Structure 1
Amino acid sequence: MSAVLWKATLSGHLISAGLSPSTSLEPPVIKQFMLALVLAPIHLLAPAADSWPECRHDPTITERFLPVELINGEPLPATDVLQLVAIDKHYSFVAYYPSGEPPFNGETTLKGPIEQRRADGRVVQSYERTVPAATERMAITDNGQAMGRIFDERIGLISNEGKYPVGLWKQGETRHFNTVFHTARGDGNSSTSITMEKLSCEFEGISGAYAIRWRVDSGRRGDYGYVFAPGRGLVQVIVYKRAGSRPS
């Protein structure tokens, strides 16, 4: 590198480090300069918090019935009904991190319906769901407001978890669920909530998708965004605060 080019390059780096190009390069200054060189690439590589694909909101939809088919990606039913149709599918999704971590390409599966005994002894229809970290069984909550785990191989049986909304919902509303985890060490309680951020939105050209915010408000607090699209099921996860090892 020529002396002129080297001087111009050095001047540019000094300015980036918040130093004057005429600064004398004494040891403390060199330390500040080298620290700026190390930190600059980290800043440049961190994606903006809104760098993931947007689900464009349709504000004209203020109330809507959400069938299970929005979760499993099957054709939407002709009437407002909650049902677990036969399914055996793989779904690819991308998880994004506002903190700047690289996106995570994940896959989940749904299979069923499969009979599963609940903590209260009743046998219900469920979907077996595999995620990057575990195998679960999911069913419709007793109040018909959501689908949630009733069994997780990492935990055991689970009562009244609401994670993905189904049934009649309104734009912007938040619903809370008091969940009980029946573990080998005894029962544990957790409070979770679902907020309907976009009751109807368009995702990658697909209209009729929806976007939610799911929060764990106690215990291992977590904060996630999910987007489900007709014909595809789960398409996007946004990890605002991670409660476990991988998004699910």
Structure 2
Amino acid sequence: MKIYLNPYLIAFLCISIFGSARLFAEDSTTKHKEVDSPVKQRFIPVELFTGAKWDGKHELVMKEVSASTCVTFIGKKRPCSQFQITGPFKTEENNTKIEWRGDEIPYYRRIFKIRESQVESFFTINNSKDGLVRIYDQRKQWGTRTYDGLGSKFPLGYWKQGEVREYNSRRPTRIEIIELDGPDHCLTFRWTIGEGKRRNQDNIYTFCPDRGFTGFRYYNENIRKKK
């Protein structure tokens, strides 16, 4: 038995099926974008701090380095300052609260001059393993200072754009990612001590691959310029 269909009915069915398929495709595309929308995240290696070559492995390893970099103090009319970093060396005892190592804590030694006075600092991976922290500092205006290793001076590991982390060290510190992956894959972040009201307590730093520390500015001075 032959079945005869109304041509108008056939046209209606075709339009309905095509429209439903198109709607389904649009909905699927939208959901796909939402599910696969990439979160801007970056693995920050120790080598970004030291300026050494990075092998691309997502591992926090303090490899041997002897390097120098020229740091520009943004907003200041003066030549860039030479920073030298060497290490790692090891402490003979652990006077910090870093629990992931025994008495021999590996650290990098960084030296630079400010107003013809030398500044010497020691850096190691912090207790929470998400940053490098200063454990020793010697300079003319402060004398010698030691730190507990619970804070952070430089972010390490996985961080997201705009992420903020706070550290309850002896002097509470805070790191905020300003630009996770800028020009030349440079990293820019804000580092604050307490409320950041004093000089050198609210700074913005830039570090670049194969160079290390490249730029510095006072955050509060930057705000005043904008106003």
State if a TM-score over 0.5 links the two structures. yes
Amino acid at match of 1:213: R
1:167 aligns with 2:167: no
Question: 1:218, 1:137 → 2: CA distance?
Answer: 24
Q: SS at 1:155's partner residue?
A: strand
Hey, what's the Cα distance between the residues in 2 that align with 1:105 and 1:239? 15
2:127 match: 142
The offset of 1:86, in angstroms, is 0.7
Q: CA deviation at 1:104?
A: 5.5
Q: Residue 94 of structure 2: which of 118, 124, 145 is its match?
A: 118
- 1:1-248 counterparts in 2 under 5 A? 62-97=40-75, 101-103=76-78, 105-116=80-91, 117-120=93-96, 122-132=103-113, 133-153=118-138, 154-159=143-148, 160-180=150-170, 190-202=171-183, 207-218=184-195, 221=198, 222-241=201-220
Aligned to 1:172, what secondary structure does the other structure show?
coil
Note closer, same or farther for the CA distance 1:118–1:219 as it changes in structure 2 (3 Å cut): farther
TM-score by length of 1: 0.62
Measure the CA separation in 2 of the matches of 1:219 and 1:195. 13
Determine the structure 1 residue equivalent to 2:16. Answer: none
Aligned length: 167
Matched residue type, 2:145: G
The alpha-carbon deviation at position 238 of structure 1 amounts to 1.2
Code of the aligned partner of 1:179: S
Please state how far the C-alpha of 1:161 moved relative to its aligned partner.
2.8
Deviation at 1:119, TM superposition (A): 1.8
> Which amino acid in the other structure matches residue 155 of structure 2?
P
1:196 to partner: Cα distance: 0.5
Contact 1:191–1:218 (8 Å) recurs in 2: no
Evaluate the alpha carbon distance shift between residue 112 and residue 198 of structure 1 in structure 2; reply closer, same or farther with a 3 A threshold: same
Say which SS state the counterpart of residue 76 (structure 1) adopts: coil
In the alignment, structure 2 segments of 5+ residues that lack a partner are 1-37, 97-101, 222-227
Displacement of 1:61 after TM fit? 6.7
Q: Decide which structure has the larger Cα Rg and report it.
A: 2
- Write the distance in 2 (CA, Å) between the matches of 1:149 and 1:239: 19
- What TM-score, normalized to structure 2? 0.67
The residue aligned with 2:7 is none
Bigger mean CA deviation after superposition, 217-226 or 62-71: 217-226
* CA deviation after TM superposition for structure 1 residue 105, in Å: 2.1
User: For 1:179, what is the secondary structure of its paired residue?
Assistant: coil
**Alpha-carbon distance between aligned partners in 2 of 1:75 and 1:102, rounded to the nearest angstrom:** 31
Amino acid of the structure 1 residue aligned with 2:147? I
| Structure number having the greater helix percentage | 2
CA displacement, residues 30-52 of structure 1 (integer Å, 9 cap, x when unaligned): xxxxxxxxxxxxxxxxxxxxxxx
Distance 1:179 1:155, change over 3 A: farther
Q: Which structure 1 residue ranges, 5 or more long, are not aligned?
A: 1-59, 181-189, 243-248
Distance 2:94 2:77 in 1: 38
| 1:219 to 1:62, Cα distance in 2 relative to 1, 3 A | closer
**Separation in structure 2 between the aligned mates of residue 219 and residue 228 of structure 1, nearest angstrom:** 21
1:156 to partner: Cα distance? 2.6
Aligned identity (percent) is 25
